[in-house]
Structure 1
Amino acid sequence: MSRTRTATTTTTAAALLTLPLTAVGLLATAAAPAAARPVPSLTCRGEGVDAEAPVRARAEAVIDAPLRTVWKLQTDVERWPGWQTHVTSADRLDHGPFRPGSAFRWTTPVPPNPATPATSLDITSTVRQVERGSCIRWTGPAVGEGLRIEGVHVWSFRKVPGGVLVRTEETHTGEQVEANVPYATGVLKQGLEAWVGELKAAAEARSCPRG
């Protein structure tokens, strides 16, 4: 889910304690992640996530499927709603294979909570770097009622014994997420893990022999 740093909105910091922030629309009560030794950021053609962003999370999985299947699922944006539970619409704003400048617009619901009514995040992502079958980096805003997040998202794909190692890293900036970094980080991590998990399930289902 994309990002140059920006922060607009006037939602109070107190509202953040219950406001869902993940770009995949998951409502969670995630705890702050445990401290861990810093690891190098993922990159695509030498560019990574926002090094100054306070909210950062990663997820990964080995997917037992051909690389071409995994890559096709991830880059065929308009078909995301067919396998991603929390993506309600997705449209390419250009045509053809992903390339620098390719853009897509997608939405994900945000359930109601004590601070905000039910709404939807409207996300516009622009591909900045891509290497076919290897990595993608995109950036862009996620905007909802009383909420704006700027994100940078990097994906890495590598053949390994047993399939394809998929790793992803994302950073968020914005007034709301920066007011409660531990909570926002936990929710972002949960969202990335769900995304990778659904990508794994969809790719392995496609590559499973049919009897």
Structure 2
Amino acid sequence: MPGIRSTSVRAALFTVPLVVAGVLGTAAAPAGATPQPGTSLTCRGEGVDPKAMVRSSIETVIHAPLSTVWKLQTDVERWPSWQAPVETIERLDHGPFRKGSAFRWTTPIPPNPATPATSLEITSTVEQLKRHSCIRWTGPAIGEGLRIDGVHVWNFTKVKGGVLVRTEETHTGDQVEADVPTATKILHEGLKGWLGDLKATAEARAGHQPH
């Protein structure tokens, strides 16, 4: 794992409002979304990295059928149609989304005073999955002089009027561990963005009118 090779690389990491290795987004936080301290989420008994210093979790209720929410989240090749920060994506396997499925995707990093525009390549592999219930994937995000390893868990639970969606993610790597508070804030904002996009898209497809 490469270290921080220059101050410009570190500046690029900590001045970009995105989260890598699984969560990216710039949408406003969904109404009612709240951080969830305490017990970590799991999928088939496996959770996030227990040793990671950078971690965040959040949840919200989406007023749409579980089948709609699940399809949006697992039809990864269509992510760019509802998540602007996902620039390109490619399934690395075929057939139903399942344990062992893998996908490679990219997201842009805009220019800042220290570095020019660039992009990150993320390769995610599904380690655990239970249909309409949970997903856990892992994988690295790699850019010039940068590597972050992420573990991301999603839980989906039917509730009155919709679906309770909970998500938790951890990041490890020299760059994020060099400034844990900033990296944690970036991660949390990314989770809020992704959940906001998922909520808005699912509810629009279900015909739900926000109050």
Name the TM-score, length of structure 1 as normaliser.
0.86
Q: Is the 8 A contact 1:57 1:185 kept in 2?
A: yes
8 Å CA contact 1:25, 1:191 repeated in 2? yes
Kindly provide the CA deviation profile for residues 109-165 of structure 1, in whole angstroms up to 9, marking residues without a partner as x: 111123322111100000000000000000000011221100000000000112001
Match of 1:50 in 2: 49
- Over 4 Å off, 4+ runs: 24-27
Q: Structure 2, unaligned stretches of length 5 or more? A: 27-34
Q: How big is the shift at 1:26?
A: 5.9
| Structure 2 CA distance for aligned equivalents of residues 37 and 57 of structure 1 | 8
Amino acid paired to 1:10: I
Alignment of 1:157-172 (within 5 A): 157-172=156-171
CA RMSD, aligned part only?
A: 2.0
SS in 2 for 1:68: helix
Match of 2:2 in 1: 8
Post-superposition CA distance 1:97-119 (Å, at most 9, x none): 22221100111111112332211
Counterpart for residue 93 of structure 1: 92
Alpha carbons 2:24, 2:191 under 8 Å: kept: no
| Structure 1 runs not aligned, ≥5 long | 1-6, 28-35
Provide closer, same or farther for how the CA distance between residues 116 and 26 of structure 1 changes in structure 2, counting only shifts above 3 A: farther
| Separation in 1, partners of 2:179, 2:109 | 18
1:26-75 deviation digits (Å, cap 9, x = unpaired): 68xxxxxxxx9940000000000000011001121110000000000000
Alignment TM-score, normalising by the size of structure 2: 0.86
How far did residue 22 of structure 1 move? 1.3
Within 5 A, what are the aligned runs for 1:120-139? 120-139=119-138
Three-state SS of the structure 2 residue aligned to 1:167 is: strand
Paired residues, number: 195
Question: Quick one: distance in 2 between partners of 1:37 and 1:203?
Answer: 22
Looking at structure 2, the residues matched to 48 and 171 of structure 1 have their Cα atoms a distance apart, in angstroms, of 10
Structure 1 position 90, deviation (Å): 1.1
